[in-house]
Amino acid sequence: MNLYSQNQGMKKPLLILMVVALLAGCSSIASEDQLPPKPPAFACAEPRLESAFRFHEKSKDFLKAYYTTRKESDLYFSWYASEDSLYMARTIGKCWDKRNKHFHAAQNVFQKNGVLRNLIVQNMRTDSQSAISELFLEDYRKIFVRDIQ
């Protein structure tokens, strides 16, 4: 028996294994074809809209916290969260997958944040409150001389 005949004997089992593997692969492809089609993934607009609404909710939560604690920092956090919400809503226009529903949802975010921002501004310090704080500035200067020049 020479080397050539040994190779011929090995080719038949390899050929059979390759055919079996090919048939197994085709059957798995056929089973994948029968699965229901997946909805298209919205890579840009949907996540940005969700983020805009989440920032709006955070802004409302900070405004609620301000009404309970009367901390001005909550007002500023509310303002910044509203700014983030508006920024995310503006970036939807750059998305390749934007649709009419995204446009209307972004308009909704703009309107909601407009009302919220008016409430925030109404609760921020007015001139009369800053005048009251000026009364205590003289006491502050006596304690911290180098702070205020």
Does residue 52 sit within a domain?
yes
What pLDDT tens digit does each residue of the chain (149 aa) get? Answer: 555 555 556 666 766 766 666 666 655 554 545 555 444 544 688 999 999 999 999 999 999 999 999 888 899 999 999 999 999 999 998 888 888 899 999 999 999 999 999 999 888 876 555 555 555 555 655 655 554 44
Domain total of the chain: 1
Quickly count: other Cβ atoms within 10 Å of residue 10's Cβ. Answer: 9
Does residue 1 sit within a domain?
no
**Distance between CA atoms of residues 117 and 113, nearest Å:** 6
The backbone torsions φ and ψ at residue 138, rounded to the nearest 5 degrees and listed phi first, read -60, -40
Does residue 75 sit within a domain?
yes
**Distance between CA atoms of residues 62 and 138, nearest Å:** 32
Residue 23, classified by CB atoms within 10 Å of its CB into exposed (0-12), middle (13-18) or buried (19+), is exposed
Does residue 133 sit within a domain?
no
The backbone torsions φ and ψ at residue 18, rounded to the nearest 5 degrees and listed phi first, read -65, -40
Contact 56, 116 (CB under 8 A): yes
> What is the pLDDT, as a whole number, of residue 148?
45
Q: Tell me, what DSSP letter sits at residue 96?
A: T
Does residue 21 sit within a domain?
no
Under DSSP, is residue 2 helix (H, G, I), strand (E, B) or coil?
coil
> What is the pLDDT, as a whole number, of residue 8?
58
Predicted structure pTM score: 0.57
> What is the pLDDT, as a whole number, of residue 71?
87
Does residue 6 sit within a domain?
no
Does residue 28 sit within a domain?
no
Does residue 147 sit within a domain?
no
**Distance between CA atoms of residues 118 and 115, nearest Å:** 5
With residues binned 3-state (H G I as helix, E B as strand, rest as coil), the percentages for the chain, rounded to 5, are 80, 0, 20
Q: Residue 108 belongs to what domain range?
A: 45-124
> What is the pLDDT, as a whole number, of residue 1?
52
Distances, alpha carbon 60 to alpha carbons 36, 120, 123, 148, in Å: 40, 10, 13, 35
